[in-house]
Every structure is written in C-alpha cells, then in structure tokens.
Amino acid sequence: MNLLATLRQLKYPREFRINPPVWPPDLLSILEKSPQPSASEQGVIPPDHTEDHQVDSERMRFLADVGTSLWRLRQKMLHPGTDRPLEEMRRAYRHLESMWDAFTQANIEIQDHTNELFDSGMSLKAITFQPMAGIAREMVIETIKPSIYFKDKAIQIGEVIVGTPETPKDMQESKTRRPKD
C-alpha cells in the first residue's frame, strides 16, 4: 500500500480503516504471462468518434436553441432599454433569472449585441445594413439571434441588423420624399 493510501486511512476511526489486500507474491508475474482478450472477444465495440461528434453537435444545437428562447423571453419581460422587468412580469422574471444564472454557472454565455459598434471582422452575421440618421459609425441596432458561447467556444453566431451612417445621397433622398396621402 502506498503512503498516500495509508495516510488517507488515518482520517477515519480505527474500526472503519481498511487493511491493504494481501496478494500472493507471484500473482503479478502470472497476470503478465496470461494472454489478454481483445476488445471484440470481450464484447466491447470500440467507440465510434463520428457518433460522439454527432451527439455533441446535437447537444450544442439544443443549448443554442434553449439559450435563444431564454434570451427572447427575457427581452419580452424587460422595459425597453433597461434591465428592469415589466410590473406584470416581475414574479415570472425571478424564475427566468434563476435559469439565466444556471446557464452562467454551466459556462454558457448569451450575448446580446444591440447598441454595440459593428466591425466587419466581428463574428456576427449581419442580416441587413440600414442607413440611419444620427449615428457616426456602423452599429448594431437590433439583435435577431444572440451569440451563444459554451466554455468560450461559439455554439451560435449572432444575427444582427446593422445601422450605417447616412450618406449625403441618403439625406437628399429622405428630404425629397413626399409623404403619401
């Protein structure tokens, strides 16, 4: 018995301590000489890594779907532009927060990109670019799907609508448009 196992036994009362097994001295040499059965003889089929990959892929897709639904539900429960729940949603929002915390503790991060500056090198799928007055740089004006990360690895790329600064041509067109009566 090695030293660590002996010390581990000392933390228990004497009547609960386990004595080391007594093996015949030649047992190791007998075991080394005996032929070992192959995996197929034991009835064990070697793991198929493509199947493992498929299962992992399905799990990640499931996490992404649940995360997206949780994020959408959260968006519906909050006052626009704040982190405060609507009055009629206050009781249900507590349960949503506990789910959100469970995701966080499981290393799943759900990232909303609304009002972030946009750069074409970002890991986001820009669904459309929309000219907007009053902005100086491209920025995300709406998140359609959030980015979701599991252990810092992307399992869902966010989908966004990007606002672009109006060009002089856009400004002239907006001034010349006439409202329809």
pLDDT for residue 26: 81
Structural domains in the chain (count): 1
CATH of the domain at 65: 2.30.22.10
Domain around 80 = 51-176
pLDDT for residue 29: 78
pLDDT for residue 130: 93
Quote the tokens at residue 96.
């949503």
- Whether 31 is covered by a domain: the verdict is no
Quote the tokens at residue 25.
């001295």
Quote the tokens at residue 90.
């206050």
Per-residue pLDDT of the chain (181 residues; tens, 9 = 90+): 567 777 777 777 888 777 777 777 787 777 777 776 665 555 555 555 566 667 788 889 999 999 999 999 999 999 887 889 999 999 999 999 999 999 999 999 999 999 999 998 899 999 999 999 989 999 999 999 999 999 999 999 999 999 999 876 655 565 555 555 4
Quote the tokens at residue 160.
């966004």
At position 1, the amino acid (one-letter code) is M
- Whether 89 is covered by a domain: the verdict is yes
- Whether 78 is covered by a domain: the verdict is yes
d(CA 133, CA 68): 30
